[in-house]
Structure 1
């Protein structure tokens, strides 16, 4: 006998949204969460994430981003919460370097709204950034900063209002397809559902079939925050989200949300780890040194001392493309 039509394993950045959308369709769903939604040691941690309509690469993400934009707006309208703050987004790099031309090629294909700002225009409009000769900025006018905790908790709250259930402190150990459903097993028992969505972040690897386990790996992602000399210069109204890739340095970040500190974090420095539950939270001396050097060069308005840092687990694919769809040979998982 089935315990319900749908289970969602993991109620984080993906699972919370799946639960909310299923509940809007009238599907009675149960979410299983190893700790609690938006707990501070999940991949959701770190206060904010960047939302952009511009990107580099061959994959055509623009229709997905357009849909996501509408869905964020819908979540805000239904919850009454501000989740996506539209502050714009800057991409900064060398005019003839590897980043900016690739970004402009993608923008040309998609037609995403944007502005090209030379070094002088950047100095006039966004003096927080120190650009070197030969660098420029691309402004994504529809970009913004997402409040991660608020997003997850709002989606979960709406799902519950629509009849969904969330089981907390329930680490799923096995997902096994049977002839008449899918068995979900935790340390406290097992349930059978018609279908299951696996969305448990760094914990998903062990729940996937072997052919997918070989294509994913856990990563430790660290974040850093710095104090602003003049915080009013870094509020969302004055300071867009940013990604900067130039020479051998790269940094991304977001405006202040606490009125004091600014997230500015080295890009692409995630390291593979064996266990997402035991990652090192403290930064290494090398990570600290590179962070300070980069902030010192890029941001004269930030005090080059890390006032807050942390590290979070996430699950990545071997080709950096998201996994979405049924597992091979299954119509239920």
Structure 2
């Protein structure tokens, strides 16, 4: 016999853990099911931290979501008595006229965000860990920083359990089947039934949501690197803002020293390795390191010291790289959340709240038109 719940959340990572908490705090009977450990290194949210920023070059409509995300991260910190959000300021850099510069400026102007536009020389004087290429501009926004992603997932899970949720790790979901207005979830251990199901399965989401197959949600291998700077004092949180850097070598993203005692860097679309999440290697290689070092040598030469750590993770990309937050076509009892195309973790606090609204039939106060699944239809 299927076990009964109000809501089942499939995937207890960034989005799923926040959804479990937001649903449980509303008094619902919640079951969260995670294929791996609670807090694992197979998905998209490990590697200690993730950037958060208000000057959102991807689209100005993300900014209201971000403002609420900041509020919820701070609320979560208070409830846990644990710090999750670190403000360092943020830099978005690229050549004049580039997508990063023009998009960041558009968000700042539309939402009246405080910011400064600096040239490469001034950026280096203000933040001497940066040596931007000649001709680059840098938009500095003082509210940017990072979220302690691994800590945040465990925190959301702890809050959800404290509010009455049941969480299962190491249990693989095999199918999500709508039946007469309810949903049955079949796993490798049991069958469960709920009035609503949230599918937040990250790189495995297309296995469970047919509408996201055929290139609509594609897992991509990423590698993060931590390197010991020649001058660590230049890369501390008070001297080195988080950043996005659009270059001829690709789009790099950077963090100050925190956790691991090194400068952290990644490259969007790294080596363009895509495939099923189970088939992508989690083992970093010398070729991965070489790509990251190229970015360091281009713009952060004082960080070009010994390698401390390399870690592989996944992005799950839609064709337009915007999120998916919607109910399934023809099955409003199934809520689909993510993929996030490598820029979603910062939003997980507010996406959890939005998921809870969708799963309980409430209208979200946010404009979600950018995230509808219908836009991805062939």
State the TM-score, normalized to the length of structure 1: 0.93
Which range moved further: 276-285 or 189-198? 276-285
Equivalent position of 2:128 in the other structure: 127
| 2:22 alignment partner in structure 1 | 21
Residue aligning to 1:310: 311
Aligned length: 332
Deviates more, 1:72-81 or 1:86-95: 86-95
1:172 touches 1:187 (CA, 8 Å); kept in 2? yes
Contact kept? 2:59, 2:103, Cα under 8 Å:
no
1: distance between equivalents of 2:266 and 2:232?
A: 18
Question: 1: CA distance between counterparts of 2:262 and 2:127?
Answer: 18
More helix by share: 2
Q: TM-score scaled to structure 2, two decimals?
A: 0.83
Aligned ranges 1:162-311 → 2 under 5 Å? 162-209=163-210, 211-214=211-214, 215-258=216-259, 260-269=261-270, 271-311=272-312
CA distance in 2, matches of 1:57, 1:315: 16
Conserved in 1, the CA contact under 8 Å of 2:89 and 2:142? yes
Structure 1 residue 270: Cα displacement: 5.7
Deviation at 1:217, TM superposition (A): 1.3
* Contact map agreement 2:53 2:90 (CA 8 A) in 1: yes
What's the CA shift for 1:260?
A: 2.0
Residues 295 and 304 of structure 1 are in contact (CA less than 8 Å); yes or no, is this contact kept in structure 2? no
Structure 1 stretches of 5 or more lacking a match?
A: none
Alignment of 1:76-87 (within 5 A): 76-87=77-88
Taking the aligned partners of 2:74 and 2:319, their CA distance within structure 1 comes to: 32
Q: Note the C-alpha offset of 1:47.
A: 1.0
Deviation at 1:284, TM superposition (A): 4.9
Deviation at 1:146, TM superposition (A): 0.9
Shift of 1:331: 2.0
Structure 2 gap ranges (5+) = 335-378
Q: How many angstroms does 1:247 deviate by? A: 3.3
User: CA RMSD, aligned part only?
Assistant: 1.9
CA contact (8 A) 1:292 1:306 kept: no
